[in-house]
Structure 1
Amino acid sequence: MASSAAANIGTSLARLAIAAGIDVVLSNSRGPETLAGTVAELGERARAAAPEEAARAGDWVVVSIPLAAYRELPAAALAGKVVLDTINYYPSRDGRVEVLDSGKTTTSELVQEHLTGAKLVEALNNISDHHIPSLARPAGAADPIALPIAGDDPQAKAGAADLISRLGSDTVDAGPLAEGWRFEPETDPYAVPYSAAPDAMRAFWTQVSEALRSGTAPQTPPPVDGGVPLPAARLRTLLADTSRKLTADRVVA
């Protein structure tokens, strides 16, 4: 598995992959030498590489970067690969993208347009990074967690579901990439259903929104808890019942 992710999500997924016996290649925009400490911590199944080398190395490639940088992804190296896209759109960070603001397309469809030869699956983008390891469950657990996926290639979705299963979660197919909006920020399946402190999480988002508008930093850290498992049946209901939220209507833009 290759991970193009400098943030916590990359390390969290790498730990789970290694625990499942999967070799991991990490990359970021700052160079493999900046990942030396992480690689040493992860052990012999992990190594670091430049983004293009990492892309060529992985059977699965997990991409977790700001949307504004998606054109920097090595399209040629990712051709034919199953790419798990965790990218979410935040205009305050990424700048305005008219086709997303208007709902004409989704983030993963936009990334797929750039990665024309890759088989993109939107995944792992509706859950807080600290809940990924804390909610991971072994196969057959009595309280499994379910995560949504969306993609246009059935075989790629099956491959992504296999990886996510090995990382400790079940999956629910939300449909093609065009339906990926159903689990993007502030929809019903996004983050809150996995939190043991949902009211605190909603309050934090409101505070972040106010801070962004005033140009200040949030005064309290985001709530961190062990999370609660979200069963597949409940996730299917949330996906079916949620409404599309255009960027202008979101609490955190």
Structure 2
Amino acid sequence: MRGRTRRPVGSITRGTTGHNRLRRADRWIAAAYGGLLRSASRPLVVDLGFGASHVTTTELYLRLRAIRRDVEVLGIEIDPERVATAAPHARPGLSFAVGGFELLPAARPPLIVRAFNVLRQYGEAESAAAWALLRSRIAADGVIVEGTCSEIGHRAAWVGLDASGPRTLTLSTRFTGFDQPSDLAERLPKALIHRNVPGEPVYDLFQDLDRAWAVCSPYAAYGVRQRWAATAETLARTWPVLTRPPLGGRARWRLGELTLPWEAVAPGFPQAAAERAG
């Protein structure tokens, strides 16, 4: 019926947030898509499901403004009370609105969507449907960063998507935030977290990552940072780990990151094929 207000697509999350919780993802977005931001006309970035506080949306705005002074950032939340709480913190180029996975009321298709900790409560099929809806609403050259992190952001994992589908998986950790790399498995995005079982490539990935970590234990004498970089280099011998900028190589590894093409970990993708992809 004409004039009827459509209910936003999605469910209210716990809303947990805090200063610098998403700093790792923001840093990766700046590295991965800084060129995209600089070259775009009137770039719009959406922070989907910003939670009970404006803080991580505001931090995203400030970080991206350092790259592109006129970037617009829109925080979208399904809970009107959270939007009302965030609204007083709006400023030129930063705004907040009620909405969901349909990305309304964005004025135009966004160039970048950051969606963190919004799909954990959904089933795998529902998560896939949310991905499809988001992909249908972004700009032609737009991208989505969808993932999950711990309460203070020390462990995180996210998928980079574009209109054609998922492209990359990134693991990111603070070096004091884990005992072995497989500790990050608990933060896998919904599309993978239930696939961390024998027979699935993401399970094989963490098995091999832990083995590489053990093999590189002598590097611990030089610090965890050096051990992580050596582990990534070792893993890259059998997995298609990205080894060149902007998403790979020692500069990213020294930040506690590791990025692989999605095809290497896609559910049901045989490990043998993942190795050949390298």
Larger radius of gyration between Structure 1 and Structure 2: 2
TM bracket (short chain) = 0.3 to 0.5
Q: Which has the higher contact order (CA 8 A, sep 6+)?
A: 1
More helix by share: 1
Q: TM-score, normalised by structure 1?
A: 0.35
More strand by share: 2
Q: TM-score, normalised by structure 2?
A: 0.33
